[in-house]
Amino acid sequence: MLTRTDCRCCRGERLVEVFSLGEQPYANAYLTEHQIKEPEPKCPLVLMECQDCGQVQLSHVVDPETLYSNYAFMTSSSQGMKSHFSEMMQRSVTQYVPANGLVVEIGSNDGTALASLSGKNVRCLGVDPAENLATVAGQRGVPTLVAFFGQDVANEIVNSHHGPADLIVACNVLAHVDDLDEFCQGVNVLLSNEGALIVEVPYLQCLIDRAEFDTIYHEHLSYFAVRPLVALFERNGLHVQHIERHEVHGGTLRLTVRRHAYEPRNVAEWLANESVPPDWSAFRANVEALRMNLIDWLTKMRDAGKVVWGYGAPAKGTVLLNYCGITTDLLPVVVDSTSTKIGKHVPGTHQPILAPCELLNWQPDAALVLAWNHAAEIRRKEADYVARGGWMVVPALNRNKE
Ligand code: TMP
Ligand code: ZN
């Protein structure tokens, strides 16, 4: 575990603490029956803000090998994410990739996004450090390099895949990268002169506005706004050309980044409209109100003899349960559709993770949607549970968008 004392985007050293969740377990480290009896590793979760460019980042960096070599999250577990990525891939390929061109996805997970290009006349390659996910991607017909992306990997791809990439896609991966300069230099090696890098990151503004404190966990080293990202890319000779906002993952930025400084389309407007620095004291107050309301409601439910389960065991569920101190007396069970999570336990608070079909078998009075970014999809899937009188409760205001 390392402490990072400079800004990932501008390398300035004026970092100030703005929010702390204290010591927390690793959110994706689901525990076996045996492991819940052992002491668990914990690490501080503290947000620092760069006083020079506005970048927000964690103070501590957990060894990536610990977090990623066997990764439980799978993109394919959500229909909403599948269609989001498929739309992005089709549009980007039409815009930037010639016949037989090369598309590289960094952080390709289980190959879901690249698999949506099957049947197109393009070559695809995934890069992801998780061996277990690369195997799944391979079974889907998506060749995957098991590696952390950087200049070496970029050179290897250029040499072995016949020329540079026309399109590089990096969705929900930049926040996981400690050395962003190395990442950008890798892009400079791999991307063709006219090619495009499409980046998606959760947007800091949404984290603040919707009190999404549960999206803060050790894998997410950065919480990006537009200004620090533009500074990062410019410092590395890359240029943001276009910015879009999407609703996935609680509010996402999609940036089109080029090697050539084309006329930027809407970057100046975004920079002008971004409210920096965020109102951290309002954020802290909102988080505290959310925590108190949730504990109050769960306690009342328990005291009235009613049973509440969690729906979804995403990393953010681990954070929410641990930060609010919600153990099995208030919420005894969590359900999740991911095969690698079923049969395990939530880190820290130890709820057993069951398959979603158990919801209908047991019909608890309410389900707290921990995977709130998929609330609409989950409501549709569990229509029978709701029809029988089950409540689906989302743990905050304004969070039930898909
Ligand atoms: P995410 O919020 O990081 O995308 O993770 C979503 C989690 O929720 C993942 O563990 C899968 C789970 N999930 C279900 O169990 N049922 C569902 O219908 C959906 C959409 C997700
Ligand atoms: Zn900075």
Q: Which ligand is nearest to the CA of 85?
A: 1
Residues whose CB falls within 8 Å of the CB of residue 152, separated by 6 or more in sequence, listed in order: none
Quick: pLDDT tens for 191-237. 999 999 999 999 999 999 999 999 999 999 999 999 999 999 999 99
Span 262-299, pLDDT tens digits: 998 999 999 999 977 899 999 999 999 999 999 999 99
Ligand 1: residue whose CA is nearest its atom 9: 314
Distance of CA 182 from the midpoint of ligand 1 (Å):
31
Containing 114, the helix (H) or strand (E) segment is helix 112-115
Which of 78, 109, 381 is the best mutation target for the ligand 1 pocket, counting ligand atoms within 8 Å of the beta carbon and taking the most? 78
Query: Across the 402 residues of the chain, what is the mean pLDDT of every consecutive 10-residue run?
Result: 94 98 96 96 97 97 84 83 95 97 97 96 96 94 96 96 92 96 98 98 94 96 97 98 92 96 94 90 95 96 98 97 98 96 98 98 98 94 98 74 39
Helix (H, G, I), strand (E, B) or coil at 325: coil
What is the Å distance from ligand 2's center to 227 Cα?
Answer: 9
Buried/exposed 65-94: b ≥16 CB within 10 Å, e otherwise: eebbeebbbbbbbbebbbebbeebbeebbe
Q: Which two tokens stand for residue 136?
A: 């799944």
- pLDDT for 62 equals 92
The finding on whether 369 has its CB within 6 A of some atom of ligand 1 is no
Q: Residue 244 C-alpha to ligand 1 middle, in angstroms?
A: 24
> Which of 97, 124, 101, 105 is closest to 172 using CA atoms?
105
Indicate which residue's Cα is closest to atom 21 of ligand 1: 78
Which two tokens mark 232?
């990062």
pLDDT of residue 401: 40
Q: What is residue 387's DSSP assignment?
A: H
Q: Contact at 8 Å (CB) between 396 and 211?
A: yes
Specify the pLDDT at position 397. Answer: 54
Residue in the structure block whose two tokens are 């979760």: 45
> How far, in Å, from the CA of 203 to the mean position of ligand 2?
16
Q: Contact, 393 vs 372, CB < 8 A?
A: no
Whether 336 lines ligand 1, by a CB cut-off of 6 Å, is: yes
Neighbours of 302 (CB within 10 A): 15
Ligand closest to 318 (CA) is 1
AA identity, residue 29: A
- If you measure from the C-alpha of residue 78 to the centroid of ligand 1, how many angstroms do you get, rounded to a whole number? 6
Q: Which atom of ligand 1 is nearest to the CA of 75?
A: 4
